[in-house]
Amino acid sequence: MTHTETQGTLTTTIENKIATVQFSHPASNSFPRHLLNKLTKELDLLSTHNDVSIVILKSEGTGAFCAGASFDELLAVTDLEKGTEFFSGFAHLINAMRRCSKLIVGRIHGKAVGGGVGIASACDYAFATVDASIKLSELAIGIGPFVIEPAVSRKIGKTAMATMTLAAHEWKTAAWGYEKGLYAKVLANATELDIELAHFTQRLAAYNPDALTEMKKIIWEGTEHWETLLPQRAAITGKLVLSDYAKNALEQFKKK
């Protein structure tokens, strides 16, 4: 099934118990709200699909994996309600990844920024290429990675999350991400990545689906409160994005 918008697409293919979900957006695979909503709904749907055991999450192209939130939509936020609503998009997506009954395997082929790091962190297992550098640049634009922080901290630890967040202008390498536990494997290029990804997911999809579902529950034990925590974090971010600092910083970032 394919959902197409003037800005961004979402495509799902299912074969041999593996659902491959691919998102794309012309602005470095960033996420406007409508695309976040579509991906969230798609994962909720796949969670109930009896013929699916594994979900592969990937993005289109050879550039960035995901540039996070849409700058244009961030600049368009004019009140707290709209700000909270926008950042709730990432809250709902991460919660959908968390509660999905299927194991989610990420294909991180390029750079991930902000919300893109959150998505990679919310995958149950992630393959990356050496080009998959990561950055949490939110402080530099007057906000913070508050919505995605629980997912990032859970995967790489609070100290590593803080290191990334406070060094908001610095890229961390894929090797750093591997050392911290964000990536399970780092491959030399996309070709090697796809070979390794195919072997891994085919093997995983052959296992007892009930065992996989129970394993998913265990992986995410203790995160049930995220259903309320992440929307609360969205409200914090929604307030901060209204500040003059954030508006000016976003305008400067957009010009780069």
pLDDT of residue 252: 81
pLDDT of residue 256: 67
Residue pLDDT, tens place only, 105-153: 999 999 999 999 999 999 999 999 999 999 999 999 999 999 999 999 9
Q: How far apart are the two ends of the chain, measured CA to CA in Å?
A: 36
Q: Residue 126: which CATH number?
A: 3.90.226.10
Q: Is residue 243 part of a domain?
A: no
Q: Is residue 201 part of a domain?
A: no
- Global pTM reads 0.95
Whole-angstrom distance, CA of residue 23 vs CA of residue 86:
18
Top mean pLDDT of 82-86, 183-187, 249-253 is at: 183-187
Q: Is residue 173 part of a domain?
A: yes
Question: pLDDT at residue 255 above 80?
Answer: no
Q: Is residue 120 part of a domain?
A: yes
Question: pLDDT at residue 93 above 90?
Answer: yes
Q: Is residue 161 part of a domain?
A: yes
Which residue type occupies 120?
Answer: A
Q: Is residue 85 part of a domain?
A: yes
What total of structural domains would you count in the chain? 1
Which residue range forms the structural domain that includes residue 176? 2-190
Q: Are 202 and 54 in contact, with CB atoms under 8 Å apart? A: no
Q: Is residue 238 part of a domain?
A: no
pLDDT of residue 72: 84
- HEC assignment per residue over the chain: CEEECCCCEEEEEEECCEEEEEEECCCCCCECHHHHHHHHHHHHHHHCCCCCCEEEEEECCCCCCECCECHHHHHHCCCHHHHHHHHHHHHHHHHHHHHCCCEEEEEECCCEECHHHHHHHHCCEEEEECCCCEECCHHHHCCCCCCCHHHHHHHHCHHHHHHHHHCCCCCECHHHHHHHCCCCEEECCHHHHHHHHHHHHHHHHCCCHHHHHHHHHHHCCCCCCHHHHHHHHHHHHHHHCCCHHHHHHHHHHHHC
Residue pLDDT, tens place only, 175-216: 999 999 999 999 999 999 999 999 999 999 999 999 999 999
Question: pLDDT at residue 1 above 50?
Answer: no
Dihedral sign for Cα atoms in the order 13, 72, 139, 172: positive
Residue pLDDT, tens place only, 27-67: 999 999 999 999 999 999 999 999 999 999 999 999 999 99
Q: Average pLDDT in the 247-253 region?
A: 81
Which residue type occupies 17?
Answer: K
Looking only at the bridges linking them, the beta strands covering 134-135 and 2-4 are: unpaired
pLDDT of residue 5: 46
Whole-angstrom distance, CA of residue 17 vs CA of residue 201:
9
Q: Is residue 214 part of a domain?
A: no
